[in-house]
Amino acid sequence: MSDGFINLNKPAGMTSHDAVNRVRKIFSTRKVGHAGTLDPAACGVLPIAVGRATKFIEYLTDCDKSYRAEILFGLATDSGDLDGEIIARAENFIPPTREDFIAVAENFVGEIEQRPPKFSAIKIHGRKAYDLARKNLSFELPSRRVKIFRLELVAFDENSATIEVDCAKGTYIRSLAVDLGERLNLPAALKNLVRVRVGDFNLDDALTFDELNASKLLPVENCLRHLPTFELAEHRVRAFLNGLPTTMHAADEKFLRVESGGKFLGVGRIERGNLLSSKIF
């Protein structure tokens, strides 16, 4: 069985789970998973792990992400995008100016408070929020702190604005669209969303389903370059692979990409001054 990551260009209209199922058929294996759910209406970068690479998915979830999003002014939906039911509409509204939008957008750069949309995969008492929302059950998702590193306006007209966003994990662009509208005193919803980057996975290099085959799999170690690399002494390799600790001087709770002699061994974590194998390849 082949092992590695795929930089998939997920098409709009497909869930991330549907994308995983299609990759399972292409590679004839059940051992497939994705890193970072992408909304069905959105398209773009969806990292997919195949075979033993699935053990390392968790180390991609903390990666920064980049998006291109089009925000539509004048209406709001229960989901925050155009797949939802319209809950508010502004007729004959006075559109914001480009300057108005830029001034408001500046307030969203940095660490901000954000409330995730009810139609999301966040779990409430073990149940996914979107399942509760579809049944019209009453619940509230708590707000949380997220980080936006860059928010740039790239296109603008009286009905919509297109932005590019660099952000940390956990940021919902649908919520950002709604919040930007509220600051402009207008209902707003996400019209289009493209994820252009997840860590080192970029849209320019992403593949369609028709382009997938075993030769296009990316080596696991190449997809973990955001982790600091640690060169393990050869005489400690067997201990690492057997789960035994290696004493070292480093900060606690830090993950490392562990190599020895240029060979990737797995991911280690630092705990109380010891290097421990977290996942071995």
73-98 residue pLDDT tens: 999 999 999 999 999 999 888 999 99
Residue bearing tokens 């939906």: 77
Q: Which CATH architecture has domain 229-280?
A: Roll (2.30)
Instruction: At 195, list the tokens.
Output: 């994820």
Question: Average pLDDT for residues 135-151, to the nearest whole number?
Answer: 84
Nearest to 41 by CA among 65, 66, 14: 14
Mean pLDDT for the stretch of residues 19-41? 94
pLDDT at residue number 250? 67
Answer for the pair 219, 6: CB distance below 8 angstroms, yes or no: no
- pLDDT tops 70 at residue 118: yes
pLDDT of residue 272: 83
pLDDT at 91: 86
Based on its alpha-carbon atoms, the radius of gyration of the chain, rounded to whole angstroms, reads: 21
pLDDT class of 61 with cuts at 50, 70, 90: confident
96-100, 135-139, 226-230, 242-246, range with the lowest pLDDT: 135-139
User: b/e string for 112-147 if b means 16 or more Cβ within 10 A?
Assistant: bebebbbbbeeebeeeebeebbeeeeeeebeeeebb
Residue 167, CA distances (Å) to 92, 121, 274 in order: 34, 19, 32
**Residues taking part in catalysis:** 39
Query: Which band of pLDDT confidence, cut at 50, 70 and 90, is reported for residue 264?
Result: very high
Segment 88-96 long-range contacts (CB within 8 Å, at least 24 positions apart): 88/187, 89/187, 90/186, 90/187, 93/186, 95/158, 95/159, 96/184, 96/186
What is the four-CA torsion angle of 103, 108, 114, 116, rounded to 10 degrees? 80
In whole angstroms, give the CA distance from residue 231 to residue 120. Answer: 40
For the chain, strand residue ranges (E) read 4-10, 32-34, 43-50, 65-73, 75-77, 86-89, 110-114, 123-124, 127-128, 144-156, 160-167, 188-198, 201-202, 229-231, 246-247, 254-260, 263-271, 274-280
Amino acid present at 56: F
Query: Is the pLDDT confidence value at 128 over 90?
Result: no
Q: How confident is the model at residue 192 (pLDDT cuts 50, 70, 90)?
A: very high
Q: Above 80 in pLDDT, residue 209?
A: yes
Phi, psi of 92 (to 5 degrees): 50, 40
CB atoms within 10 A of CB 259: 16
> Does residue 15 surpass a pLDDT of 70?
yes
Determine the straight-line distance between the first and last CA of the chain, rounded to whole angstroms: 14
Q: How far apart are CA 34 and CA 58, in angstroms?
A: 10
Q: Of 1.10.760.10, 3.30.1600.10, 3.40.50.720, 3.30.2350.10, which CATH number belongs to 4-63+199-223? A: 3.30.2350.10
132: helix, coil or strand? Answer: helix
Domain boundaries for CATH 3.30.2350.10 within the chain: 4-63+199-223, 65-191
CATH code of 65-191, in short, is: 3.30.2350.10
The pLDDT, as a whole number, for residue 132 is 65
For the full predicted model, state whether its pTM sits above 0.85: yes
pLDDT of residue 124: 74
Residue span(s) of the chain under CATH 2.30.130.10 come to 229-280
